[in-house]
Amino acid sequence: MRHHIELSPSRRTVLEASLMAGVSVTLVSCGSGKDGQKVPEPTGKAFDALELDKLPVKGSASVSVNGHNYLLYRPDESTVLAYTSVCTHQGCKVGTGSGTTFKCPCHGSEYSKLDGSVTQGPAPKSLERYATQVHGKEITLFL
């Protein structure tokens, strides 16, 4: 004799599973805020930021453009990356640092020079990134 047993999930189990799925989707879509930003398109007003020969390959510099401070990093011969120098923790001025990170002197936050992402807290999110172009001997920053 065969018995057919059908197991149905309880209402509580269905609600818990739905809640967990919703939380998971929300967390994935929000991200941690510590990931670097994508390279922005060179739109907006262009400003001359620095002469290219003043920024060696693997070098970084702090520049003032249009009344605001920015950090530049040159990973190779033809690329210059730009970020705000305002720390995302409490607004202190981030320095050029050394090696592969920019460093905030106030509370020790560090940011990757390659994408602006947080490599050491307490900063909650990456540095804002700006588009750049190299025109001849000049580094142009788009704001």
Summarised one tens digit per residue, pLDDT across range 111-131 is: 999 999 999 889 999 999 999
Residue 53 structure tokens: 């020969």
Summarised one tens digit per residue, pLDDT across range 92-102 is: 899 998 899 99
DSSP 61-99: EEEEETTEEEEEEEEETTEEEEEE-B-TTT-PBPEEEET
